[in-house]
Amino acid sequence: MGMKTAISVPDEVFSSAERLAKRLKLSRSELYSRALAEFLARHTPKMVTESWNAVLADVESEDEMTAAARRVFEKVEW
């Protein structure tokens, strides 16, 4: 259950999403819902802070912190 909405996406994105949904055995709605939830989590300041705190909790040296930060930044869509 949830809010119905209509969106427009480029054909290439739609095709890729359809293939992924099929591979993951998800409905289109479930795939888009999960994707949007992940996007929102990545862009919520509290979640960003919690992610950084989790990384820093595992770091023992400055060199390790630099490497950990690099890994996080490589995963972030700018």
* Residue-averaged pLDDT of the chain: 84
* Cβ–Cβ < 8 Å for 41, 51: no
Q: Of 78, 51, 56, 76, which Cα lies nearest the Cα of 67?
A: 56
- Give the global pTM: 0.57
The answer on pLDDT for 11 being more than 70 is yes
Longest dimension (CA), the chain: 49
Q: Convert the pLDDT of each residue in 40-62 to its tens digit.
A: 887 777 777 777 777 777 766 66
**Average pLDDT of the segment spanning 3-30:** 95
Q: Convert the pLDDT of each residue in 24-42 to its tens digit.
A: 999 999 999 999 998 888 7
